[in-house]
Amino acid sequence: MLTPLDGLGWLLVLFALLLTFVYHTFGDRTWWGTALIYTGRWPWLLPLAAVAPLALAWRRSALAPLTLAALIVMGPVMGGTLSTAPFWRPGKSLRVLTFNVEGGPVVSLRLRELLDATRPDIAGFQECGPTMHLAISMLEGWAVTDTTGAVCFLSRYPLRAPPATMPAQNFRAAGGSASAKRYEVMSPIGTLTVFVLHLETPRHGVQHLLTDPSNAPRLIDANNLLRETESRVVRRWVDSTAGARMVIGDFNLPVESMIWQKFWSSLDDSFNAAGNGWGFTKLNGWIRVRIDHVLLDGHLKAVGAHVGADWGSDHLPYIAEVQRK
């Protein structure tokens, strides 16, 4: 016989499914959907944690729907994934690092240690400040050390052509602050075009929920439009280049975002392909979200992906192992 505890368990399953629909449908599509996808998601597990002891004590059959609800929350809602890639694949690979260093005052002091720990072949850094520029300029053993601007780049392999910077007016005319650069790397897996970018933050809209709540919906919608414009312009630039392409950086977009789905989901997400767990890269108090990515076109495949340790930024480094298909 179905008891109230069983019924509550199945209600929580329905609630988890509803959350999945809301996150994947309204993220960056409405002002409240934007606020939702950029806040912490683990609190949705708290109702399940509260009911589980009751099920253990009085109705163990209710553990089945509770387990199902927990899997839905930890998977589609929180973005958890299990890799389908094997643990090891033969063949040449390229190790890629992307890391928003929050200006770099702390990370720059440990840059050599970071590079020794993560062992990248190419690395793209966002929010590069003067201390980060100086630390990179002092490195030895790299074929390329580009420190011109807010996006920095390292490569153990030479470039086929000089770096190209996305014209700033493409962003500034819309009020944006994005940075994007292009590098043609002559790597062991062939010549690759690597785009390193940092897109506008949703924080400039969502923060008004605390500072100006009456105008927050309008300001969040305006920020969403700006961020959509940036992604449209950068994606067109990416698509103007032929050959094997890789786009890395701080997108400020989780995969549930409508903007992500519209402009970036056609590229292969390295973490979805080869990562395990949630892959949270942004740290903000109790908030955790995956907004730093390594995306690949149809010439490339990810065979490994993981998030690194805390090196003194509000982001964590993200590392992907990439091969030719």
Average pLDDT for the chain: 91
Distance from CA of residue 132 to its chain's centroid?
22
Domains in the chain, ordered, with CATH? 4-77 (no CATH), 94-324 (3.60.10.10)
User: Is 80 exceeded by the pLDDT of residue 164?
Assistant: yes
pLDDT of residue 39: 86
Q: pLDDT per residue over 130-153, tens digit each?
A: 999 999 999 999 999 999 889 999
In this prediction, residue 273 has a pLDDT band, given cuts at 50, 70 and 90, of very high
Strand partners, 306: 319
Mean pLDDT of 9-13: 89
8-state DSSP, 210: H
Helices 63-72 and 4-26: angle between axes, nearest 10 degrees:
10
Identify the DSSP state of 200.
Answer: P
How far is the C-alpha of 233 from the C-alpha of 246, rounded, in Å? 16
Residue 120 has pLDDT above 90, yes or no: yes
For residues 35-49, average pLDDT: 90
Contacts of 207 by beta carbon, 8 Å cutoff, 6+ apart = none
Query: Average pLDDT of 150-176?
Result: 86
Q: How far is CA 177 from CA 123, 203, 239, 277, in A?
A: 21, 13, 21, 31
| Residues 31 and 221: beta-carbon distance below 8 Å | yes
H or E segment to which residue 265 belongs: none
pLDDT of residue 284: 79
Q: Is the pLDDT at 40 greater than 70, yes or no?
A: yes
Mean local confidence (pLDDT), 29-53: 91
* Range with the poorest average pLDDT among 78-87, 189-198, 203-212: 78-87
- 125 token code pair: 């850094």
The pLDDT tens digits for 295-323 are 999 999 999 999 999 999 999 999 999 99
On the question of pLDDT at 61 being above 90, the answer is no
Distance between first and last Cα of the chain: 54
State the pTM of this model: 0.93
CA angle 277/283/124 to nearest 5° reads 85
What gap in Å lies between CA 65 and CA 75, rounded to an integer?
A: 15
Give dist(CA 61, CA 9) in Å, integer.
10
> What is the residue type of 170?
N
Contact criterion met (CB below 8 Å) for 114 and 104: no
